[in-house]
Amino acid sequence: MPRALLLENIDPVAVELLSSAGYEVESLRGALDEADLAAALDGVHLLGIRSKTQVTRAVLERHPGLAAVGAFCIGTNQIDLVAAAAAGVAVFNAPYSNTRSVVELAIAEIISLARRLVDRDRALHAGTWDKSAAGSHEIRGRTLGIVGYGNIGSQLSVLAEALGMRVLFYDLEDKLALGNAEACGSLEELLERAETVTLHVDGRAGNAGLFGAEQFARMRRRSLFLNLSRGFVVDHEALREHILSGHIAGAAVDVFPDEPREQGDAFSSVLRGLSNVILTPHVGGSTQEAQYDIGRFVAGKLADYTRNGTTTLSVNLPAVALHGSSAARFALLHRNVPGVLARADALIGEHGLNVDGQVLATRGDLGYVVTDVNGDLPPAVLASLRALPETVRLTTFAQRP
Ligand SMILES: NC(=O)c1ccc[n+]([C@@H]2O[C@H](COP(=O)([O-])OP(=O)(O)OC[C@H]3O[C@@H](n4cnc5c(N)ncnc54)[C@H](O)[C@@H]3O)[C@@H](O)[C@H]2O)c1
């Protein structure tokens, strides 16, 4: 029975899905360091991790039997993706599973900031009855400016409109405006028109310091600011100054330039202790629903990949979406150079087999071709395909997909 090893307390739904796909699954609560991981991977075909386990080139090179790694999270920085591709190890993650969780936190924070809930709550816990409407607002009719109209930004747009907000957005790319949302031609335009500005840009290097003194100064007086995207995007000193000056009436920050590594580690930030500022420890996407969905999504991708060769949404292999077939199937991951496909097809033909179907995709210097043939593949054909100098990995599918 093929084996799957899941680390870092992955949701039990992943164990269920992989077990029913025919894997013997071992699930551990913690992460493993490089040496322990290298030892634990003997005989393992699928590895599931979250953000703490490092999958290095050395680990990948030591385990040629490893077929795929599931990152049961959003980020994949913890995996050497280049080494994984070179070793023919497919990597999958869960890019959308926590989108809704981030959006709901943003909505909660927009309302909390507009009502100054944090200050009211702190005062009452401290024993002070401070009942007043001063500085409290409804969000209905207010203008929300969304910077970065991707998965999260666009879903936030829909929910914010449902709550009666007017939505403006700014994105580097031309994006379809959902509902009545209006695209702004520049970030400056958005800052000048919105009453609440929320950042949902991606983590590209060029976004470092995107938001600093100049951008805060351009925002409307007494507007609100949220960042649930990446910590390095915002200059927190500048944010602090604009909150202390009263120009910014409140802020919610979920992501920080330097985040503590471990649970319980000390946290320091110039934003601590400020009035009407909500600080959360990067929990935008952290809900039980998101964890369940991540487990379901990534385990499903791993199961599909090993069942029929589908690589859709793999972060490092060419993308091929496949349906079931009654033919015998093999997948050849190869170096993307001229003539490989012709050589592979010639080998099949020499053994009297006919190609029933074939799908090819390429990505950089890798090609991935999945072939259905009209009969079982003799070991000699498989050995010849494996021996092609361009072959990175040959996978056959034991069951008819
Ligand atoms: N707080 C959390 O727990 C949490 C959870 C999930 C995702 N995130 C972060 O949220 C952010 C958005 O995630 P997503 O899934 O919507 O990403 P996405 O890739 O779908 O969308 C990002 C959008 O930002 C746009 N963009 C990039 N740079 C820009 C710029 N300088 N100005 C304007 N637009 C710009 C892109 O064109 C894209 O449309 C990411 O940084 C992600 O890491 C945070």
**120 contacts: CB under 8 Å, gap ≥ 6:** 130
* Structure confidence at residue 321 as a pLDDT band (50, 70, 90): very high
Nearest protein CA to atom 9 of ligand 1, as residue: 229
153 CA from centroid of ligand 1 (Å):
7
Between residues 3 and 325, the one the model is more confident about = 3
Instruction: Collapse the DSSP code of 239 into the 3-class scheme (helix H, G, I; strand E, B; otherwise coil) and give the result.
Output: helix
- Does residue 326 carry a pLDDT above 90? no
Give dist(CA 286, CA 51) in Å, integer: 13
Q: What is the 3-state secondary structure (H, E, C) of 247-312?
A: CEEEEEECCCCCCCCCCCCCCCCCCCCCCCEEECCCCCCCCHHHHHHHHHHHHHHHHHHHHHCCCC
Position in ligand 1 atom list of the atom nearest CA 175: 39
Q: Is 390 in the pocket of ligand 1 (CB under 6 A)?
A: no
pLDDT tens sequence across 256-299: 999 887 778 899 999 999 999 999 999 999 999 999 999 999 99
* Structure confidence at residue 160 as a pLDDT band (50, 70, 90): very high
Residue tagged 């029913």 (tokens): 20
- Does residue 363 carry a pLDDT above 90? yes
231 CA from centroid of ligand 1 (Å):
12
- Does residue 173 carry a pLDDT above 70? yes
**66 contacts: CB under 8 Å, gap ≥ 6:** 41, 44, 45, 46, 47, 60, 87, 89
Q: Is 177 in the pocket of ligand 1 (CB under 6 A)?
A: no
pLDDT at 121: 96
pLDDT at 398: 66
- Does residue 400 carry a pLDDT above 60? no
268 CA from centroid of ligand 1 (Å):
25
Region class of 176: left (phi > 0), else alpha (psi between -120 and 50), else beta: beta
State mean pLDDT over 48-77: 94
Q: Which residues are catalytic?
A: 230, 259, 282
**137 contacts: CB under 8 Å, gap ≥ 6:** 114, 115
Q: Is 228 in the pocket of ligand 1 (CB under 6 A)?
A: yes
Identify the CA nearest to 278 among candidates 120, 98, 74, 152.
Answer: 120
- Does residue 115 carry a pLDDT above 80? yes
**3 contacts: CB under 8 Å, gap ≥ 6:** 23, 24, 25, 26, 43, 44, 45, 46
Q: Ligand 1 pocket check: which of 201, 227, 259, 283 to mutate, most ligand atoms within 8 Å of Cβ?
A: 201
- Does residue 155 carry a pLDDT above 90? yes
Strand 366-373 versus strand 391-396 pairing type: unpaired
Strand 166-170 versus strand 143-147 pairing type: parallel
Q: Is 373 in the pocket of ligand 1 (CB under 6 A)?
A: no
Full-prediction pTM beyond 0.85?
yes
Nearest protein CA to atom 12 of ligand 1, as residue: 200
pLDDT at 401: 46
Q: Is 294 in the pocket of ligand 1 (CB under 6 A)?
A: no
pLDDT at 277: 98
Under 8 Å between Cβ of 96 and 298: no
Nearest protein CA to atom 36 of ligand 1, as residue: 148
Q: Is 150 in the pocket of ligand 1 (CB under 6 A)?
A: yes
Instruction: Collapse the DSSP code of 322 into the 3-class scheme (helix H, G, I; strand E, B; otherwise coil) and give the result.
Output: coil
Torsion angle (degrees, nearest 10) of CA 168, 200, 242, 192? -20
pLDDT at 116: 96
